[in-house]
Chains A and B, each alone.
Chain A
Amino acid sequence: MTDQPRLWQCERVIPSQSGAGRRVQQEILDQLLRQRWGPRDIFCIHLALEEAVANAIKHGNRHDPAKCVHIRCLLWPDRVRIEIADEGAGFRLSDVPDPTRPDRIESPTGRGIMLMRSFMSRIEFNDLGNRVVMEKERSEASEPSLGQEAVQGN
């Protein structure tokens, strides 16, 4: 991982309502497109982002209108980092069963974290379990273009 200048970042706070994260998700995806990330990388990031935000709203904040979800995204030429924090009590990762176990395969829930791990380069929860940091390294098939401009972040 090279020490390259950060191209873009954003910080957003959304309410704990289903669908509330859609605008900021699209904002992040648009930046990836602008920096010419490949479709597969974008799909992976989109899915992990969708799962993490849904988890924060549904499981972290339990749809409590008094609680928010904090989303931060940092973009470098070779990687993207997404941090998502809820205002809930947290959870223990060890309490989440493997959804591919035969006794869990027909459960309608419990696959979000597995998908986040599978599609991002790395994910890490804080000790409390109410904040996750996910990173995706740009794949070789998704080379940055020459002379790309740094985009003003906010």
Chain B
Amino acid sequence: MSAYRRLTINEVGDVTVVHFRDSRITEDLSIQELAQELFHLLDVDKRKKLVLNFAAVDFLSSSALGKLITLEKKVKGHNGQMKLCSIRPQIYEVFVITRLNRLFDIRKDEADALAAFQAAAQQ
């Protein structure tokens, strides 16, 4: 994909850090585009280590959670790893209520997520 419209992509070593351009991730066409871009990172660009940074996200719906679950399964299917970070407290509460905080590897911030990748690589 020559240009990502919903995501900002940065590489930190062999880790791909993804920032969301939309502050609200909800049930409409934009979430379909967002999912396509996320899946493209895996399926086409073959990225295997992902950090999804939610710093700019102040609202997301359960359909967004569904896309993240699908992405998590794809990452594991590709023998990759994914970490989420910088999730605002109100959004994090949604993960806790739905117990998805146990499914995803959620880190406090980007530095923490990258450090965790580094620590795992050194083992």
Contact = CB atoms under 8 A, between A and B. Distances in A.
B69 A108 contact: yes
Name the residue among B27, B73, B94 with the largest chain A CB count within 10 angstroms.
Answer: B27
B59 A47 contact: yes
A114 interface: yes
Contact of B62 (A18, A22, A43, A112): A112
Chain B: interface secondary structure? helix
B80 to A, nearest CB: 17
A43 B99 contact: no
B70 A100 contact: no
Contacts, number: 61
B90 interface: yes
A106 B59 contact: no
B23 to A, nearest CB: 12
A50 B59 CA distance: 10
A47 B61 contact: yes
